[in-house]
């Protein structure tokens, strides 16, 4: 099978206490571990592996790395050969280099983002267990996010100088990591510049996305909720906690998902995302959004794409 799904994201924050309050009380995660360097590890209630978010104290917000889980440990050796044959250097980190994780294959995407693959992470089970489970745990907090769903990475897009790291990443993810392209946005006079790519390995519309911008960075990490009702409730929880909301509850055209975008205390953008939209399959035709409809693709109700949405990120 190779790559199965997203495993975790390591995020830089500038105020650990405020960040923990946010990820625990607003998103609904639980702290499961703090290492000797003060990094804090958290999980959502419906995740079975040890953690999905790592918070690292730093003087600037952003992402350290994103990691995806592969099916077998031997897959790491196979991917190491494939990544290096593509012309990208790799490093194999030994078991224990990260808490509760086996070997890790580390490399940079063409966009320069640090990307990691691993096969083993301690399984602790969901908060409702695997025998006669209830639909949700009694101690669910905040929005009660089920799991870390995906991340969207901003990639340098400078067509006049021949730079398009969206297309470069899409090619690499397809040819080397066996991801599939679900949706894309094409711009330019001849509609031949790939400005956004939404890619999947599971049956959801996207497990990772790339969007063009002036520099590389993290646009958001996204957490899954059940329904539109849960999205609205999450908005109420954010208002109660005085969270800075970027985009109020609405629907995407791309992926058909329902969404709220908001910021953690350090300025890292988060998303709560609901709705599977459609079943993504390798033989499904790629959906393409043209330059004149990108606003409706991102925010279906208004069709308006605020400049800050792609201009402000960490």
The active-site residue, picked from 8, 22, 165, 206, is 206
Closest of 212, 209, 71, 70 to residue 150, by C-alpha? 209
Structure tokens at 230: 């849960």
Active site residue: 23, 165, 271, 313, which one?
A: 271
CA-based torsion, 182, 227, 71, 54: positive or negative: positive
Pick from 229, 237, 216, 240: which is nearest to 314 by CA? 216
Of 23, 47, 252, 313, which residue is the catalytic one? Answer: 252
Q: Is residue 220 among the annotated active site residues?
A: yes
Q: Does 271 qualify as catalytic in the annotation? A: yes
**Quick check: helix, strand or coil at residue 168?**
helix
Among residues 155, 204, 154, 147, which one has the least CA distance to residue 179? 204
Concerning whether 23 is annotated as a catalytic residue, the answer is no
Please give the sequence-ordered ranges of beta strands (E in DSSP) within the chain, or none if there are none. 3-13, 30-34, 40-43, 53-57, 62-70, 90-93, 104-108, 114-118, 148-158, 163-164, 180-187, 193-200, 208-213, 217-225, 245-251, 258-263, 269-274, 287-290
Active site residue 219: no
Out of 23, 220, 258, 313, pick the active-site residue. 220
The single residue of 150, 165, 180, 219 carrying the catalytic annotation is 150
Q: Please tell me which residue in 41, 51, 261, 313 is annotated as part of the active site.
A: 261
Catalytic residues: 150, 206, 220, 252, 261, 271
């Amino acid at each position: 099978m190779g790559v199965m799904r997203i495993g975790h994201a390591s995020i830089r924050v500038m105020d650990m206490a405020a960040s923990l309050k946010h990820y625990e009380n607003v998103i609904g995660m639980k702290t499961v571990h703090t290492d000797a360097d003060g990094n804090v590890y958290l999980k959502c209630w419906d995740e079975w592996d040890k953690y999905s978010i790592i918070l690292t104290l730093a003087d600037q917000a952003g992402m350290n790395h994103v990691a995806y889980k592969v099916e077998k440990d031997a897959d790491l050796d196979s991917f190491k050969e494939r990544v290096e044959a593509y012309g990208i250097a790799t490093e194999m980190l030994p078991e224990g280099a990260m808490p509760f994780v086996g070997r890790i294959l580390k490399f940079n995407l063409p966009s320069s983002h640090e990307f990691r693959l691993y096969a083993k992470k301690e399984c602790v089970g969901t908060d409702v267990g695997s025998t006669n489970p209830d639909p949700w745990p009694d101690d669910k907090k905040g929005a009660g996010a089920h799991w870390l769903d995906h991340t969207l990475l901003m990639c340098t897009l400078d067509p006049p100088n021949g730079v398009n790291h969206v297309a470069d990443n899409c090619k690499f993810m397809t040819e080397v990591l066996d991801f599939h392209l679900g949706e894309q946005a094409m711009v330019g006079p001849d509609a031949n510049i790939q400005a956004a790519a939404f890619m999947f390995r599971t049956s959801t519309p996207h497990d990772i996305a790339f969007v063009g911008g002036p520099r590389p960075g993290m646009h958001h990490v996204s957490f899954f909720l059940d329904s539109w009702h849960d999205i609205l409730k999450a908005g109420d929880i954010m208002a109660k906690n005085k969270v800075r909301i970027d985009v109020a509850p609405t629907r995407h055209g791309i992926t058909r998902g329902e969404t709220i975008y908001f910021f953690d205390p350090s300025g890292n953008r988060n998303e709560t995302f609901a709705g599977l939209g459609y079943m993504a399959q390798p033989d499904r035709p790629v959906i393409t959004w043209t330059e004149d409809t990108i606003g409706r693709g991102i925010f279906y109700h208004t069709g308006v794409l605020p400049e800050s949405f792609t201009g402000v990120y960490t």
